[in-house]
Amino acid sequence: MTAAVRQRPSFPDLFDWADQFRPFFAARSLLSPHPIRVEDKVEDGHYVIRAEMPGIDPDEDVKITVENDRLVIEAERTEDKSDKTHSEFQYGSFRRVMTLPTGAKVDDIKATYNDGILTVTMGVGAEPEAKARQIPVARS
């Protein structure tokens, strides 16, 4: 008597299936409303913004603009991967708007891109002193 060999149905590997959603979650993090992770700080008289943007061609895919005391970083990523048996593509657009600090020198902006990190720097002048004053109350 020959034992029948029962084969399991062919399902894609679970990790391959889950991996197809990685670009979606990477672009729209569940923990942050902003798709571009950014840190900013003022150091040594400069406002410094560092944005994590791996896989971007800074010459073709990044646009930085300043308008109304706001810095806008826009980028678009398109990536194609293929081998003998598999091909896939990933794409997405990103936009981040940041309010500049008081005294930011928008004529002195520099941007560099290295190892997936976009760094934008600009000079910052002294913030105007906020003088306290008392407001008299008039009787009507």
- Encoded amino acid at 104, one letter: A
Query: Quick one: pLDDT band at residue 123, thresholds 50, 70, 90?
Result: very high
Query: Quick one: pLDDT band at residue 17, thresholds 50, 70, 90?
Result: very low
Stated pTM of the model: 0.61
Burial (Cβ within 10 Å: 0-12, 13-18, ≥19) of residue 123 = middle
Residue 83: its pLDDT value, please? 82
Predicted confidence (pLDDT) per residue in 45-78, tens digit: 999 999 998 878 888 889 999 998 899 999 887 7
| Assigned token pair, 49 | 């913004």
Fold of the domain spanning 34-123: Immunoglobulin-like (2.60.40)
Average pLDDT rounded to a whole number, residues 22-45: 64
List strand residue ranges (DSSP E) for the chain, in order: 37-43, 46-52, 62-67, 70-82, 87-99, 110-114, 117-123
- Encoded amino acid at 59, one letter: D
